[in-house]
A and B are shown apart, each in its own frame.
Chain A
């Protein structure tokens, strides 16, 4: 019997972008509401897993030509760099700073260096989960 996954593939094309937007919302809302880098990274990798389910490893790696092990390294570099950057200003390791800035489109915005640390967590979580899932999926 010949099978096709037209409904699954069409639905996951739409749902993918909804999940990605939700994960970005979870990532940026983490300072004032529940969320943060960990859940956001898990949701982003959940969206990529949905594409892996609807399509296959070759198609998805053609769409995202990323080596996820390098993504882990970039994330750890972000976290360590944010932590070590505090040493340049003669304050203890991992000290964060924030300030209020007038951005052109957003108005008065509070920018915090903890977002950079959270970006490191986000990239590392995506890298670790996708490395685990792809390595298990590829082995026969």
Chain B
């Protein structure tokens, strides 16, 4: 019973990911695409969590935290590039 529920939710998450991929390809501006990429990362977290429940293992739990951290750093660097034009500054200027 629970397995059927998990498979249905996997299908729902992949449908949500298809919508996000549509926004990633179609999105008229760059911030649209960045937000779509961030949401795809969070969707991947959910998929890995459900998959590790389906496979009855807890060895993938580190991957969840890893994807979360990487999506955070990636989104921040994209945002900083869009705002300031460079990602890592030499010295602080106001």
Nearest CB of chain B from residue A109's CB, rounded to whole Å = 22
CB–CB A57/B73 < 8 A:
no
Q: A2-B94, A58-B91, A133-B88 are in contact. Are A53 and B80 (CB under 8 A)?
A: yes
Q: Give complex CA distance A60, B28 in Å.
A: 36
Contact of A138 among B62, B76, B90 (CB under 8 A): B90
Nearest CB of chain B from residue A139's CB, rounded to whole Å = 10
Q: A3-B83, A34-B59, A56-B92 are in contact. Are A8 and B73 (CB under 8 A)?
A: no
Across-interface contacts of B65 in A (CB, < 8 A) = 22
* Residues 1 to 58 of chain A near chain B (Cβ within 8 Å): 2-4, 8, 15, 19, 22, 26, 29, 33-35, 39, 43, 46, 49-50, 52-58
Contact of B70 among A46, A54, A59 (CB under 8 A): A46
Across-interface contacts of A34 in B (CB, < 8 A) = 59, 62-63
Q: Which residue of B lies closest to A137 (CB)?
A: B88
Main secondary structure of the interface of A (DSSP, over half): helix
Across-interface contacts of B63 in A (CB, < 8 A) = 34
Q: Which residue of A lies closest to B76 (CB)?
A: A53
CB–CB A43/B66 < 8 A:
yes
Q: A3-B83, A34-B59, A43-B66 are in contact. Are A57 and B88 (CB under 8 A)?
A: yes
- Of the listed residues B65, B83, B88, the one surrounded by the most CB atoms of chain A closer than 10 A to its CB is B88
Identify the A interface with B (CB < 8 A): 2-4, 8, 15, 19, 22, 26, 29, 33-35, 39, 43, 46, 49-50, 52-59, 133, 137-138, 140
9 sample A-B contacts, Cβ–Cβ < 8 Å, listed by A number: A3-B84, A19-B69, A22-B65, A34-B59, A46-B73, A50-B72, A50-B73, A56-B90, A56-B92
Identify the B interface with A (CB < 8 A): 59, 62-63, 65-66, 69-70, 72-73, 76-77, 80, 83-84, 87-92, 94
